[in-house]
Amino acid sequence: MNALWTSQEIAAACGGAASADFDSQGIAFDSREVGQGDLFVALKGEATDGHRFVSQAFSQGASGVLVSQPVEGPHVRVADTTDALNALGAGSRARTAAKVIGVTGSVGKTSAKEALFEALNRAAPGRAHRSLKSYNNHVGVPLSLARMPRDTEYGVFEMGMNHAGELAALTRLVRPHVAIVTAVALAHGAFFKDESAIADAKGEIFQGLEPGGTAIIPYDSPHRDRLIAAAKPYAAEIVTFGRSAEADVWAREGVKGDKGTLINARLRAAELTFTLSQPGEHWISNALAILAAVEAVGADLPAAGLALAELAGLAGRGRRLPIQTQAGEALLIDEAYNANPASMRATLAVLGAEKADRRIAILGSMKELGPAEAEHHAGLAAPIEAAGVDFALLVGSEMAPLAEALEGRVAFAHVADAAAATAEARALIGAGDAVLVKGSNSVGLARLVDALAGVN
């Protein structure tokens, strides 16, 4: 097996000094995730110092460590490990011949990144690479780049932000050939004056495009023209996607069946009919962005269609789980990882389309919405009602305005936290129910999902 990095390559990329020769097959900055042959990067953070866990990393099989102070064992010593990780990411990007795709958006970026990876890996098995989990910030992006194998043909990198200027720095590190904005919606509203400012921040992704690069933009977004203006100085091509026939990549009305939605997609130079396994209008939009990117890098479109037909839901982002109740089986739709007003509306519509004896929505607070927080929570009453929700279980203090808005419209309960919601849900859910669980990650509804699924 070819080494991901040799100690001498690490030292050269980071401007450090190697204490010994060693090869690394992977990289981790969390000592709990270190595997056999990995390089452990000892980062210094506000809460802890990775140098405290060097011994643990070696005990778990690390081949070497990247440090800024003396340690025992094979290592590369540098002045600053955070700067060194960035340099390692930049070194990986410089040495690759891969087509690189960057993905951002207020909603859908992780799901789109995973689906795009599956589409490209179907075309080039074992030669596609992507950022894992939601490693999309100033630490996760260089780590994901540094983990990219030498022989990668396609690299897919998610980039996130909650302040202006963050994406500009990340995209200049990633240097994508193709940059996608999935959607613009109110997220991290506490840090932006309005949604247009969020669109401007998302548009920063185009600043890192390689010469000849392609910008992929949602046609149906109210911020389309703003995004196009942001892309024009940097993109050789601008490709729009959406349901409108005026978009460069668009879809006719989908036909829903037992195995998904049959879609006829019109691209710039091709037409593709495929089945999309994941439900919801937002997934049709994701699929069109993915196909636009596949076409832009010259990859296999039919293979991408097959991958979209076989997509499974991600934990916290649409995974569908059968769960056992005292009376029989119910369906749990796991959207517990994150939430904002747009994603709440989209997933409530998915719940509304589900055939079930009862529809139950377990909804956690939406965080970082800014001054209009109460208004945005109360605004979920109409989509809850439209989805035919039989019972809404509201979790967190921010849900109080929604509880008030639901009075006399939909049956509900309002509880303080995930622990209370778990107890309530166990008593509430019965056979034949369809249950949506969604909220901001910090609310902790993933623990509720695990409890209902029998994980703990």
The residue among 293, 321, 326 whose CA lies nearest residue 434 is 321
Give CA–CA dist 118/130, Å, rounded: 10
Q: Is 111 annotated as a binding residue?
A: yes
379: Cβ–Cβ under 8 A, 6 or more apart, which residues? 341, 405
Give CA–CA dist 345/338, Å, rounded: 13
What end-to-end distance do the CA atoms of the chain give, in Å? 38
Q: Is 110 annotated as a binding residue?
A: yes
Q: Is 108 annotated as a binding residue?
A: yes
The DSSP bridge pattern shows strands 99-104 and 178-181 to be: parallel
Cα torsion angle, 186, 282, 205, 317, sign: positive
Residue 75 structure tokens: 């290592």
Give CA–CA dist 30/40, Å, rounded: 8
CB-CB contact of 437 with 362 (8 Å): yes
Q: Is 131 annotated as a binding residue?
A: no
Give CA–CA dist 66/42, Å, rounded: 6
Integer CA distances (angstroms), 401 to 193, 194, 376, 389, 396, in order: 22, 21, 9, 18, 11
Backbone angles phi, psi at 129, to 5 degrees: -135, 145
CB-CB contact of 353 with 279 (8 Å): yes
Q: Is 430 annotated as a binding residue?
A: no
The residue among 328, 283, 275 whose CA lies nearest residue 306 is 275
Cα 422 to chain center, whole Å? 26
Q: Is 100 annotated as a binding residue?
A: no
Residue 93 gets the label, from left (phi > 0), alpha (psi -120 to 50) or beta, of alpha
Give CA–CA dist 282/256, Å, rounded: 14
269: Cβ–Cβ under 8 A, 6 or more apart, which residues? 295
Give CA–CA dist 391/48, Å, rounded: 43
Cα torsion angle, 308, 314, 319, 323, sign: positive
Residue 249's H or E segment, with its range, is: strand 249-251
The residue among 300, 1, 3, 310 whose CA lies nearest residue 153 is 300
Residue 381's H or E segment, with its range, is: helix 381-386
Q: Is 65 annotated as a binding residue?
A: no
- Going by the annotation, the residues of the binding site for ATP are 105-111
Residues tagged in the binding site annotation: 105-111
